[in-house]
Structure formats: C-alpha cells, structure tokens
Amino acid sequence: MRRFNWFTTLGTTGLVFGLMFQVSAMGQDAEGRTAQVKGFTDIVFSGGITGLAILILLLCLSLTAVYLVIEHLLTLRAKDIMPTDLGIQLRDQLVAGKYREADALCRENPCLLSFVISHGLGEMEGGWEAIEKAMEDAMAEQSARLFRKIEYLSVIGNIAPMVGLLGTVTGMIFAFQQVATTQGAAGAGDLAEGIYQALVTTVGGLIVAIPSLGAFAIFRNRVDHLVAEASYVVQHTIAPVKQRARHASKNPKQPAATPKAKSPGQG
C-alpha cells in the first residue's frame, strides 16, 4: 500500500512538472512569435518616411501586376479573339458572295478575327493581292496591340527591383551619415542595423519583380500561340474569296465583239 502511494505521488509530481514545462514552453513560443512579429513591423517602419514611401510604391506596383494578370486571364482567350460561331457565319456568307453582309457582321462583332476580315473585304476592288496585303497589315497591328497590352507586366518587373535598390541605397546613405555625424562613435552593430533595414526594400522589389516577369513570359507565349491560331482561322475564313479571285484572274471576261460596219454596196 505504501509502495502504491509512493508511485502515485511520484507520478502526480511528474505530471505536474510536465504540465508546468509545457505551459512554460508555450509561453516562450508565444513571446517569441510576438517578438518576431514586432521585429518585422519595426523593420518595415524603420526606414522612415523615405523607406515607407518606397514600400507603398512597391505595394502599388504589386497590386497593379495582380490586376493585369487577372485581366489578361479573362481577355486573352481564343473565344474572345476568334469566336468559332463568327468564323462559321463569315465563311458561309463569303461562300454565298454576300460581301456586304459579311462586312456588316464584322462591324457588329469587334474582335481580332472580324478586324482582319473587315480590312481584307475593304480591298475587294484591288484584287487578291490587295486583300492579302490589307489582312497582313491588320494582323500585324492586332498582334502588336496584344503584345503592348502585356508589356506592362515586363515594365513592372523591370522597375520594381530599381525602386527597391533606390530604397536600399537611400537607407545606406542614412546609415553612413549616422556614422559620420557621430564621428565614428556608432559601432558596427548600428551600421549593420541600418544596412539590413535598408535591404528590406530590395527584398520587396524582388518579390514584386519575379512573379511579374514570370507572368509576362507566360502571357507572351500565349499571345504567340493565339496570333498563330488566328492567322490560320483568317486564312480558312477568307478562302472562298481567294478561290473566286484566282478563278476570275484565270478566266477573264472576253470583251464583246463590235459589229462590222456594212459596206456601201450591201443592201
């Protein structure tokens, strides 16, 4: 019985010490997290007005990049650039020779496909060579427009590291200025603190730049693919006009024969 009480007391004491150790560890972990969060907040706001302004600028660039990525995901799609139903309707009307109706349909449904076809139909009087030249120019214009649209992501990806570097250089200037004003009284710790605070803006710039450049590369490949596919759809849609133009060039209409004038002796 005494042995049982001794084991019970020992187990209870061990349990109590274990709970106390766990509570102490949890308290230290919570304090460490609070100190970590507080340290990060101090670093963000330690750059003064200049550092804070640069961080706000980087935040604006990041929000702009997010907006552009979402907008490109919603607009750079095959069904928006070259609708399947529109291509079928245009081809049917061109097969039937209804060029005016096809041009009106292009104007009612603005997109890359209708823009190129409409420019080609506008040069019907000049023959197939004029039609083909007009469509090539229109396709090049639309392709350049799509590339200009995604170019802003590349601009953000190139500007963000420069903005972060500006904040770093500014912070290092302030750090060395502190050393100069104290005539060397500031130790290596103070100098290191100023430098790592200044490097925060460089990290922010890279965080904005890397995803922006990655998104730009993805959308550039997507635009290349869409433009190539749109060129094939345009050639397939305008094929009836090409066939008629070539048939007309091979079989030109013969001019009507003028009647011979009667001689005076003929009655």
58: how many CB neighbours lie within 10 A of its CB? 23
Per DSSP, the chain holds a count of helices (H) and strands (E) of 8, 0
Residue range 143-179, pLDDT digits in tens: 999 999 999 999 999 999 999 888 888 878 777 777 7
pLDDT confidence tier of residue 194, bands split at 50, 70 and 90: low
Angstrom distance (rounded) from CA 14 to CA 26? 18
- Residues in Cβ contact with 54 at an 8 Å cutoff, skipping those fewer than 6 apart: 47, 163, 164, 166, 167, 170, 201, 204
Residue 107 CB: number of other CB atoms within 10 A? 10
CA dihedral 33, 36, 38, 43 (to 10 degrees): -160
> How do the domains of the chain map onto residue ranges?
47-244
Highest-confidence segment of 18-22, 59-63, 162-166, 180-184: 59-63
The burial of 32, by beta-carbon neighbours within 10 Å (0-12 exposed, 13-18 middle, 19 or more buried), is given as: exposed
CA-nearest of 107, 108, 125 to 241 is 125
- Where is average pLDDT lowest: 149-158, 183-192, 234-243? 183-192
Q: What is the pLDDT of residues 122-134, one digit of tens each?
A: 888 888 889 999 9
Question: What average pLDDT is seen over the chain?
Answer: 78
What's the pTM?
Answer: 0.71
Alpha helices in 47-187 (DSSP H): 48-75, 78-81, 84-95, 99-108, 112-121, 128-181
3-state secondary structure of 184: coil
Residues belonging to the chain: 267
Q: Which pLDDT band holds residue 242 (cuts at 50, 70, 90)?
A: confident
* Identity of the highest mean pLDDT range in 44-58, 178-192, 202-216: 202-216
